[in-house]
Structure 1
Amino acid sequence: MYFGDMSFFIYIIPPLLLAMYAQSKVKSTYSKYSKTMNVNGLTGADVARRILERHGIDYVKVEPIKGVLTDHYDPKARVLRLSSGVYGNKSLAAIGIAAHECGHAIQDYDAYLFLKLRQTIVPVVNIANSTAMPLAFAGLMLGYFTGSGVGIGYYILQFAILMFAAVLVFHLVTLPVELDASRRAIEILEGEGILDREEIIPAKKVLNAAALTYIAAAAVAAGNLIRFILLSRGSRR
Structure 2
Amino acid sequence: MNVALIIAGGSGKRMGQDIPKQFIHIYDKPVIIYTLESFQNHPQIDMIDVVCLEGWQEVLQAYSKQFNISKLRTIVSGGKTGQESIRNGVYAMEGRVSDDDIVIIHDGIRPLVDEYVLTDVIVKAKTYGNAVTAMPYNEQIFIMDDDISTINYIPRERLRRVSTPQAYHYGKLKWAYHEAYDKQIGIFGSSYTNTMMVELGERLYFAAGSEKNIKLTSRDDLEIFKAYLKLEKDIWLK
Q: Structure 1-normalised TM-score? A: 0.24
Bigger-Rg structure (1/2): 1
Which structure has more RCO (C-alpha within 8 Å, separation ≥ 6)? 1
Q: Per residue, is there more strand in 1 or in 2? A: 2
| TM-score between the two structures when normalised by the length of structure 2 | 0.24
The structure with the largest helix share of the pair is: 1
